[in-house]
Chains A and B, each alone.
Chain A
Amino acid sequence: AQSVTQLDSHVSVSEGTPVLLRCNYSSSYSPSLFWYVQHPNKGLQLLLKYTSAATLVKGINGFEAEFKKSETSFHLTKPSAHMSDAAEYFCVVSSTGGFKTIFGAGTRLFVKA
């Protein structure tokens, strides 16, 4: 069985400070893991993906995530937040064991000036 838990429903940071969005997953098979971003009234845009290559994955807009198998985590980070980063972020798990993709409930990121 697969599941994904985003540990914070809301995160608030000041512009220029680091961002940390936390995600834990559970999967019976070797998982693929993704982070997507959604701006209001828009579809989801892929930020980055992990597919069993390097454990530190770099994505677009300065975001990166580290796959930690021992902790079953895939946290999203960015060194310095920008106002345009304010959006909702989804952690997603998918596996080759079945045609199934599970979306986390989302974390809304607020960026203060």
Chain B
Amino acid sequence: DGGITQSPKYLFRKEGQNVTLSCEQNLNHDAMYWYRQDPGQGLRLIYYSQIVNDFQKGDIAEGYSVSREKKESFPLTVTSAQKNPTAFYLCASSTPGQGTYQPQHFGDGTRLSIL
């Protein structure tokens, strides 16, 4: 079955540490996204990538970094510069299609907490 796999499901970060969240898709989608979800809020876009080797900042990119070396993979690194990293992180993908008509497909998320 095609889908998006996020790992790990739970992650703990120590002070001053960088951590990397994995996102892999086998849907053959060109576009991939990272969102942050906080309680009582909608999803906020961190980074997105429309094609391999290219990515753009979203609304809350500070303290995060990404890479897109392969079509299937879009890892997110939460750096020590992100002072409030505790949140639920969601990865998504879509086919560009006509503009942005295409719905996004989501993974099951990674919950990041500070030790």
Contact = CB atoms under 8 A, between A and B. Distances in A.
Interface of A: 9, 32, 34, 36, 41-46, 49, 51, 90, 94-101, 103-106
Given A9-B40, A103-B42, A43 B100 contact: no
A41 B99 contact: no
Contacts of A43: 4, 6, 90, 92, 106-109
Given A43-B107, A44-B106, A99-B50, A94 B40 contact: no
Given A9-B40, A42-B108, A103-B43, A95 B100 contact: yes
Contact of A90 (B43, B48, B98, B107): B43
Residue among A46, A94, A95, A104 having the largest count of chain B Cβ atoms under 10 Å: A94
Q: Which 6 A-B pairs have the closest CB atoms?
A: A96-B99, A43-B106, A103-B42, A94-B100, A103-B43, A44-B106
